[in-house]
Amino acid sequence: MERLDVTILGREYPLACAPEEQEALLEAASMVDRAMQRIKAAGKIGSTERIAVLAALQIAGDLLNAKAPDGPLSQLAVGDYKRKIEGMNQMLDAELGSQDKLF
């Protein structure tokens, strides 16, 4: 692990990460900083903690609504995949539970 310093909303944070993960971590920190800067610039929110929470919600929402690349599933968002997988898991759990009762 190596130390990597990132700056978010004007504050420096020392982080530890593997060398091969540095580029992704820097990109993630930049994304978080941009989201927080936009929220701060909009005014009325003074607390850094509240700005961070709103930025996290915004980024999570963007992730869940992100579409898959071109292909047969390109019309589904990540959140749709997650819901479909959870539904399949529930159906499997229910079926396996009913099979257990037979034995």
pLDDT at residue 12, rounded to an integer = 96
Q: For the chain, what is the domain count?
A: 2
Domain of residue 100 covers 68-103
pLDDT at residue 99, rounded to an integer = 61
Q: Do both 28 and 45 map to the same domain?
A: yes
Task: Tell me if 69 sits within 8 A of 45, measured CB to CB.
Answer: no
Q: Do both 61 and 82 map to the same domain?
A: no
Q: Do both 48 and 12 map to the same domain?
A: yes
pLDDT at residue 103, rounded to an integer = 56
Q: Do both 59 and 15 map to the same domain?
A: yes
Residue from 94, 62, 101 nearest 79 by CA: 62
Q: Do both 45 and 7 map to the same domain?
A: yes
Q: pLDDT by residue for the chain (103 residues), tens digit each?
A: 899 999 999 999 999 999 999 999 999 999 999 999 999 999 888 899 999 999 999 998 888 777 666 766 667 676 776 777 788 888 888 877 766 665 5
DSSP per-residue codes, the chain = -EEEEEEETTEEEEEEE-GGGHHHHHHHHHHHHHHHHHHHHT-S---HHHHHHHHHHHHHHHHHHPBPPSSTTTT-BHHHHHHHHHHHHHHHHHHHHHHHHH-
